[in-house]
């Protein structure tokens, strides 16, 4: 069993597991941090951005002013942002049988994997994962296509030139593999390969392996996966949470007894407590509004935003924000809010109970009804006429490189009354803000990452006790910036097997047994005999049928009777058809008892001679020798009838296997 | 326990199942592993609080989320009609409904639920009403599918039932429409609209008795779009406060509706009706045409019966029964042409209004049932939820077309179905791989290979291993049994020549065996050793020495008798 690691990003994993003749891809996360190296895509022409100076190397030898722009001491690529894809050269993607998706954040690279690669397999995901994943892809495509940028920048990727560039561009890896965003057509084609599954549904893959998603508690429809055969079990844990937010709680007990547990998607903010961050978020928001400023919350259009809105729903009245408008701007804002209300099965118990009433599970329905929360597909159209300040705006993309958020950065960045509150943990906020410097607006960083922290995960692993743990190498050492914090890493016995991008791991696995089915007719014909107390054996001779990786044993059909006419003459000449070979024998022949048996069968004249290893019996009347030893019996006899009689007598004393 | 329903046609003890079949005294908990409710119709869940709270059952009750949401409301409605209106006592209370629902574990579609170590259940979409499910129940390699009520054709608000080829030992299917083969849904819809329209045109009132959830929503969607298209003005009402609430359930459980509604719900929610308004009791006496949806669906109680009594006397009016009616209900009586009804207190009611029947209830018809059998490929069939005569007909058809046994037990009857499960065993991978490698890449039907191994049965485990491995695992020593026999042969040649002649002879007789002539003066057939020496007295008499182990017994025995007959003269 092998594991191919195609992504180095611990929370946006992409691994391929080869297990029992199946090739299974686990997630295909898209690393979007690469877009931080690009200039923002403004929705409206931005004089500031267009006036940025081009970059020329200090000695003037390299001139890339068309491709690279300088802003506040950093260099940015002036082209449509590109993403860092999972490794596509490590193995032939067309050989992948299935892709298992754990949550909607971990499927954003799907079109790159399933389209134009010869992929012919199936993708498995839960319904919320598919629906919300589709929305997020739609949003991404929309953000990009709304502001088309014809220019593509490739010169800077030249190895010789890249070496000369200032950081962080200089240190960017695999830049030649970076790709522009996919099209909606590719998204639709990729998603048409998705087959829906429910939690604890058992899906058979080619009869060889069974896969099953389990609730992971992180987001709507998020799942961990069990990949197992009758005797082996691999657990894939990705993006799980033990906090009580909106999704169904994590199913931990089903992870027990794994041979291998692949652990990805731990919290990116191991030192930030989500509840504390939520409190800070609210108080900063209220403070800014009271001072007459606006609040900008760059966020993804699904996920934590539901919790933020729920928190605000309770907070608004107490903080006297009843008249402040809240705006949610995204091409998928309406769909995201609507979809969140229809997945009762995938919600936590409290929310399910509300649906039984029947009431919408999320209180943002009420915020919308009472006009406190308004949603718009973009800043154009209705929004521009209904827009009132001071206000709170939720909008994407959290990288601040594209989407409506770019507009608000340009609009509000110059006033210190306004505040931007970062809640998403995926991007470094300083890097995100870099192309907007110098900036007057206040910045608050309260990343909310509900995924497992190291304390929770070690407790979990103690409980489910996998034989081996595989994880990204980042989890086996403390974070670079906090090298003294040995509590921010995984310490296990045996130590976890670390992987990095492009690793190929041989998983420690020895398969010894396989499931086979004995058909009833054969089962009825078996004759078990007890060898030891509680242990019986039966010899089995049967036809093996293997079909679709399922094995069955059935009785050997009796050969059809020979036509009677020719039979007589030929029968003796015909060598025996090897039907059932004789079983193996075990045990020993006891001398006294054997002699008694011989006597019963009329063989009385027996001369017994003792040897080093046993006895030699001389049947004088029959001129036959029987050599009895601890682990063998040798019959020397020229008469066939007598030989068979003796054979059967000896067999009585032995066990057959 | 599969469903726990009540009989609509009775008002006495007979309306609930006779649980004394399970036990004469005491609670049912010890006798049932779990209870599964297929959908929220009262003939499937009406006796649930009675069973769990009054007879006594504390184990798990499984149902889907929509069923869990809607079922207690219908039970409460039913309780109110029975206790508050009819004044019956000895009936379950509101609290009992609540306590009963606490025992419910929600079931998701396709989720495999492990009830205990052995029993596992899985729900499939049944399409009959919102949240209706079929269940696959499995223990080891034996399984049963119970359909509940299902519908094999998608309608305006729900999808069609689906199940995978799970090959259950028994398929328990409803057979409400065992003999009916219905025309296309479109025709039925057109007929329905035509009848409603005609009646409205001549100023009549149309009563459509329905259950609050289910057909009602389908017909509402149908009338809503018709009213919109034809620009009709006559009011449509929906009785009871349930409407709004019912529609809300449909909005929140939109993932359980059909593809089209699910796809467009963000833009336009099909369950927000413009033309259909809430009904008030006083409207029944309003002049002019109107259409009223009223509950319950079989005219056995409640508002629909009240309105029916009011309108029955006028031949301009019409009642359309869109679903099946159980024997004993007024719905059943008027459908059978009864024009004089005995009401409570000896009063009789003359039925003058038009009575129309439109089969809208979403049950599979004969064609649908056959289609499901084809989908699931059961080994046996068991028909329930239907009328004996019709079942008999369907049973014949099923047995003829699928050559499987079909049962139709009456109430109180026990059916025994013999299954023939195969035995799961763990085979050592070494043995399996060796066998598969020998068998070649493709199976050869003409030359089936026989595999040999030893089955070790220890505690609960069954392991199939090679004999060698079995000896090793059980810590046993091998006992070698060998045979040696001398055969005398007249052959006037040198020893070496005789041996060669034997070699040639055996080669010609034994096809497909490995025969070797070794330089040390032996011939080896498989593992049987043959040596030649001249007799001391007569050099023409050769003595052959054959030696073989017990494992080659058949061949050894054959060779010794073959060689005893001497060598044919023709060989050199």
User: What is the pLDDT at residue A566?
Assistant: 47
Q: Which of B423, B428, B510 sits opposite A523 (nearest CB)?
A: B423
The single residue of B174, B189, B224, B356 carrying the catalytic annotation is B174
Model confidence over B316-345: pLDDT tens digits? 999 999 877 878 888 899 989 888 888 877
State the Cα–Cα distance between residues B320 and A203, nearest whole angstrom: 45
Q: Which of A358, A514, A535 is the closest to B432 by Cβ?
A: A514
Question: Is residue B511 predicted with pLDDT exceeding 80?
Answer: no
Specify the CATH class of B185-357 in words: alpha beta
pLDDT of the residue at B298: 84
Say yes or no: B427 contacts chain A, CB-CB below 8 A: yes
Distances, alpha carbon B567 to alpha carbons B156, B503, B570, in Å: 88, 11, 9
The continuous run of DSSP H or E covering B43 comes out as helix B42-45
Structure tokens that stand for B359 in this block? 């089969």
Give the largest Cα separation in chain A, rounded.
123
Measured between CB atoms, which of B110, B420, B476 is closest to A197?
B110
Q: Give the mean pLDDT of chain B.
A: 88
Tell me the pLDDT tens digit for each residue of B134-146.
Answer: 999 999 889 999 9
pLDDT at A567: 42
Partner A contacted by B167 (CB < 8 A): no
pLDDT of residue A392: 96
On chain B, the residues whose CB falls within 8 A of the CB of A551 are 427, 432
How far is B74 from B295, CA to CA, in rounded Å?
Answer: 11
Residue B353, Ramachandran bin (φ over 0: left; ψ between -120 and 50: alpha; else beta): beta
Q: How far is CA B291 from CA B117, B220, B236, B317, B368, in A?
A: 54, 11, 5, 10, 31
pLDDT score of B497: 85
The Cα A358–Cα A559 span in angstroms is: 69
Return the CATH number of the domain spanning residue range B482-565.
3.30.310
Q: Which chain B residues are closer than 8 Å to A540 by Cβ?
A: 451-455, 464
Q: What is the fold of B13-180+362-407?
A: Metallo-beta-lactamase; Chain A (3.60.15)
Residues of B in contact with A513 (CB under 8 A): 426-429, 463
Is B76 an annotated catalytic residue? Answer: no
Say whether A338 and B511 touch across the interface (CB within 8 A): no
In the prediction, which pLDDT does B153 show?
87
CB–CB of B108 and A345 under 8 A?
yes
Please give the share of chain B, as a percent, with pLDDT higher than 70. Answer: 96
Interface check B249 vs A, CB under 8 A: yes
- pLDDT band at B226; cut points 50, 70, 90: very high
DSSP A244: -
Q: How far is A570 from chain B (nearest CA, A)?
A: 12
The pLDDT, as a whole number, for residue A561 is 63
Q: What is the pLDDT of residues A338-383, one digit of tens each?
A: 999 999 999 999 999 999 988 999 999 999 999 999 999 999 999 9
Which of A334, A517, A537 is the best mutation test for B, with the most CBs of B within 10 A? Answer: A537
Instruction: For residue B491, give the 3-state DSSP assignment.
Output: coil
SS3 B384: strand
A29 compared with B517, residue with greater pLDDT: A29
Decide: helix, strand or coil at residue B217. Answer: helix
What does DSSP say about strands B340-342 and B348-350: parallel, antiparallel, or unpaired? antiparallel
CA distance A56 to chain B (A): 51
Q: Which residue of A has its CA nearest to B560?
A: A640
Structure confidence at residue A292 (pLDDT):
94
Which position has the token pair 């449909």?
Answer: B250
Interface contact B83, partner A, CB < 8 A:
no
Nearest to A35 by CA among A423, A298, A334: A298
Residues from chain B that touch A557, judged by Cβ atoms under 8 A, are 448
CA distances from A85 to A122, A239, A311, A396, B342 (A): 20, 19, 35, 21, 78
Closest C-alpha to A220, from A328, A104, A359: A104
Q: Which residues of B touch A656 (CB under 8 A)?
A: none
Closest to B317 measured CA to CA, from B189, B203, B236, B232: B203
Residues of chain A positioned with their CB less than 8 A from the CB of B106: 345, 352
The two domains B185-357 and B482-565 share their CATH topology (first three levels equal): no
B471 interface with A at CB cutoff 8 Å: yes
Where chain A has pLDDT below 70, the residues are 559-581
Q: Which two tokens stand for residue B98?
A: 């609540």
Dihedral sign computed on CA atoms, order A88, A92, A93, A94: positive
Residue whose tokens read 């109180």 = B412
pLDDT at B560 over 50: yes
pLDDT reading at B282 higher than 50: yes
How far does the CA of residue B564 sit from the closest CA of chain A (Å)? 11
- Mean of the pLDDT values across residues B352-366? 84
**How high is the pLDDT of residue A569?**
44
pLDDT score of B274 = 85
Quote ipTM for the complex: 0.87
Predicted local distance difference test score (pLDDT) of residue B404: 96
A457-471, A560-574, B225-239, B443-457: lowest mean pLDDT where? Answer: A560-574
The residue among A221, A572, A578, A584 with the most chain B CBs within 10 A of its CB, best to mutate, is A584
For B252, which of A360, A517, A579 is closest by C-beta distance? Answer: A360
Smallest Cβ distance to A201: which of B110, B255, B481? B110
Q: What SS3 state is found at B224?
A: helix
Alpha carbons B552 and A536: distance in angstroms, whole number: 25
The neighbouring-strand residues paired with A69 are: A54, A76
Contact B553 A647 (CB under 8 A): yes
d(CA A269, CA A304): 15
Pairing between strand B522-525 and B515-518? Answer: antiparallel
**Tens digits of residue pLDDT in A415-435:** 999 999 999 999 999 999 999
Q: What is the reported pLDDT for A122?
A: 97
| CB B172 within 8 Å of CB B2 | yes
pLDDT confidence of residue A126? 97
Q: Which residues of B touch A581 (CB under 8 A)?
A: 452, 551
Q: How many CB atoms lie within 10 A of CB A129?
A: 27
How many CB atoms neighbour CB B529 within 10 A? 16
Overall average pLDDT of the B90-113 stretch = 94
Distance CA(A568)–CA(B239), nearest Å, equals 90
Helix (H), strand (E) at residue A288: helix A274-290
Q: Report pLDDT for A174.
A: 85
- The residues that bridge with A506 in the sheet, in sequence order, are A2
The residue extents of the domains of chain B are: 13-180+362-407, 185-357, 423-438+451-479, 482-565
Residue B550 CB coordination number (10 Å): 23
**What structural domains does chain A harbor?**
2-32+82-151+177-267+452-506 (3.60.15.10), 274-445 (3.40.50.10890), 585-656 (3.30.310)
Per-residue pLDDT at B201: 92
- How confident is the model at residue A576, as a pLDDT? 62
Residue whose tokens read 């910045």? A443
């Amino acid at each position: 069993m092998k594991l191919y690691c195609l992504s180095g990003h611990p929370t946006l994993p992409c691994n391929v597991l080869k297990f029992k003749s199946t090739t299974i891809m686990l997630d295909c996360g898209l690393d979007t941090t690469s877009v931080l190296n690009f200039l923002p895509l403004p929705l409206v022409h931005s004089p500031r951005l267009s006036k940025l100076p081009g970059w020329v190397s200090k000695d003037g030898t390299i001139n890339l002013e068309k491709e690279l722009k300088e802003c506040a001491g950093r260099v940015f690529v002036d082209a449509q942002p590109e993403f860092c894809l999972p490794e596509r050269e490590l193995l032939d993607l067309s050989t992948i049988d299935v892709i298992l998706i754990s949550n909607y954040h971990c499927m954003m690279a799907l079109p790159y994997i399933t389209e134009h690669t010869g992929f012919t397999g199936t993708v498995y995901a839960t319904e919320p994962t598919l629906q919300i994943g589709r929305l997020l892809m739609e949003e991404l495509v929309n953000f990009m296509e709304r502001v088309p940028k014809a220019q593509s920048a490739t010169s800077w990727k030249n190895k010789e030139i890249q070496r000369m560039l200032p950081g962080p561009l200089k240190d960017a890896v695999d830049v030649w593999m970076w790709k522009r965003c996919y099209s909606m057509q590719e998204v639709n084609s990729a998603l048409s390969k998705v087959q829906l599954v429910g939690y604890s549904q058992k899906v058979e893959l080619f009869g060889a392996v069974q896969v099953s998603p389990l609730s992971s508690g992180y987001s709507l429809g998020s799942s961990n996966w069990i990949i197992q055969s009758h005797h082996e079990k691999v657990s894939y844990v990705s993006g799980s949470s033990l906090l009580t937010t909106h999704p169904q709680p994590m199913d931990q007990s089903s992870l027990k007894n794994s041979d291998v547990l692949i652990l990805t998607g731990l919290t990116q903010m191991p030192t930030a407590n989500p509840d504390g961050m939520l409190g800070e978020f609210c108080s900063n928001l209220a403070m800014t509004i009271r001072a007459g400023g606006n609040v900008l919350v760059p966020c993804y259009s699904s996920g934590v935003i539901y919790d933020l809105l729920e928190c605000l729903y309770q907070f608004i009245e107490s903080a006297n924000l009843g008249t402040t408008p809240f705006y949610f701007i995204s091409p998928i804002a309406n769909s995201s809010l609507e979809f969140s209300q229809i997945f009762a099965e995938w919600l936590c118990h409290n929310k399910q109970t509300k649906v039984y009433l029947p009431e919408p599970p999320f209180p943002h329905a009420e915020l919308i009804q009472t006009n406190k929360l308004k949603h718009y597909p973009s800043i154009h159209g209705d929004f521009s006429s209904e827009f009132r300040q001071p206000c709170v705006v939720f909008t994407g993309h959290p990288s601040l490189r594209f989407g409506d958020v770019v507009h608000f950065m340009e609009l509000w960045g110059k006033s210190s009354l306004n505040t931007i509150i970062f809640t998403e943990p995926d991007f470094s906020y300083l890097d995100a803000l870099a192309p907007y410097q110098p900036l007057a607006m206040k910045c608050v960083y309260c990343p909310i990452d509900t995924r497992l922290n190291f304390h929770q995960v070690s407790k979990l692993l103690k409980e489910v006790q996998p034989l081996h743990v595989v994880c990204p190498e980042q989890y086996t050492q403390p974070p670079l910036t906090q090298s003294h914090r040995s509590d921010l890493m995984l310490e296990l016995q045996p130590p976890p097997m670390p992987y990095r991008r492009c690793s190929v791991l041989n998983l420690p696995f020895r398969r010894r047994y396989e499931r086979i089915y004995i058909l009833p007719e054969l089962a009825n014909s078996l004759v078990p005999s007890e060898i030891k107390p509680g242990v019986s054996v039966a010899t089995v001779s049967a036809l093996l049928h293997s079909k679709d990786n399922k094995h069955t044993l059935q009785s050997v059909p009796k050969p059809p009777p020979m036509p009677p006419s020719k039979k007589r003459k030929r029968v003796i000449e015909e060598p025996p058809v090897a039907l059932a070979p004789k079983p193996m024998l075990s045990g020993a022949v006891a001398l006294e008892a054997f002699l008694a048996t011989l006597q019963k069968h009329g063989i009385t004249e027996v001369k017994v001679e003792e040897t080093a290893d046993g006895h030699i019996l001389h049947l004088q009347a029959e001129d036959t020798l029987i050599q009895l030893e601890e682990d063998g019996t040798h019959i020397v006899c020229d008469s066939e009838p007598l030989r068979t009689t003796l054979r059967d007598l000896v067999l009585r004393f032995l066990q057959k296997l | 326990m599969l469903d726990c329903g009540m009989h609509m046609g009775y008002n006495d003890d007979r309306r609930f199942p006779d649980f004394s079949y399970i036990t004469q005294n005491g609670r049912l908990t010890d006798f049932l592993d779990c209870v599964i409710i297929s959908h929220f119709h009262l003939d499937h869940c009406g006796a649930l609080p009675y069973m769990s709270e009054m007879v006594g059952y504390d184990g798990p009750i499984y149902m889907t989320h929509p069923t869990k949401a809607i079922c207690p409301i219908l039970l409460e409605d039913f309780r109110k009609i029975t206790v508050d209106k009819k004044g019956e006592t000895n009936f379950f209370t509101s609290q009992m409904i609540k306590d009963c629902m606490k025992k419910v574990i929600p079931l998701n579609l396709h989720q495999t639920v492990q009830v205990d170590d052995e029993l596992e259940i899985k729900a499939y979409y049944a399409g009959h009403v919102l949240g209706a499910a079929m269940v696959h129940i499995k223990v080891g390699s034996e399984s049963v599918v119970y359909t509940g009520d299902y519908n094999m054709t998608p309608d305006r608000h729900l999808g069609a039932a689906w199940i995978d080829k799970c090959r259950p030992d028994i398929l328990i299917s409803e057979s409400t429409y065992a003999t009916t083969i219905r025309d296309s849904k479109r025709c039925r819809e057109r007929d329905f609209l035509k009848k409603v329209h005609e009646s409205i045109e001549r100023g009549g009132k149309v009563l459509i008795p329905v259950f609050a959830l289910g057909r009602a929503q389908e017909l509402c969607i149908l009338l809503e779009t018709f009213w919109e298209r034809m620009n009709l003005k006559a009011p449509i009402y929906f009785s009871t406060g349930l409407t709004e609430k019912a529609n809300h359930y449909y909005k929140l459980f939109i993932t359980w509706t059909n593809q089209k509604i699910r796809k467009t719900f963000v833009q336009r929610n099909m369950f927000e009706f413009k033309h259909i308004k809430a009904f008030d009791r006083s409207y029944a006496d309003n002049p002019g045409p109107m259409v009223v949806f009223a509950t319950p669906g079989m005219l056995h109680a409640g508002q629909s019966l009240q309105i029916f009594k009011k309108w029955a006397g006028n031949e301009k009016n019409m009642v359309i029964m869109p679903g099946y009616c159980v024997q004993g209900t007024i719905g059943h009586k008027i459908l059978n042409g009864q024009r004089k009804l005995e009401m409570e207190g000896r009063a009789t009611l003359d039925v003058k209004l038009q009575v129309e029947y439109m089969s809208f209830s979403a049950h599979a018809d004969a064609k649908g049932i056959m289609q499901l059998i084809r989908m699931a490929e059961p080994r046996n069939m068991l028909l329930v939820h239907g009328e004996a005569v019709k079942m008999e007909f369907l049973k014949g058809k099923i047995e003829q077309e699928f050559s499987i046994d079909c049962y139709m037990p009456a109430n109180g009857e026990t059916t025994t179905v013999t299954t023939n499960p195969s035995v799961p065993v763990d085979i050592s991978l070494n043995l399996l791989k060796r066998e598969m490698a020998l068998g070649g890449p493709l199976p050869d039907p003409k030359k089936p290979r026989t595999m040999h191994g030893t089955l070790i049965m220890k505690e609960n485990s069954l392991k199939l291993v090679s004999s060698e491995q079995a000896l090793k695992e059980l810590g046993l020593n091998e006992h070698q049994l060998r045979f040696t026999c001398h055969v005398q042969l007249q052959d006037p040649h040198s020893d070496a020549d005789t041996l060669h002649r034997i070699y040639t002879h055996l080669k010609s007789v034994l096809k497909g065996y490995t025969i070797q002539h070794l330089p040390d003066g032996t011939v080896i057939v498989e593992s049987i050793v043959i040596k030649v020496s001249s007799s001391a007295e007569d050099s023409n008499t050769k003595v052959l020495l054959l030696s073989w182990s017990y494992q080659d017994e058949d061949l050894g025995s054959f060779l010794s008798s073959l060689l005893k007959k001497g060598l044919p003269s023709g060989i050199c």
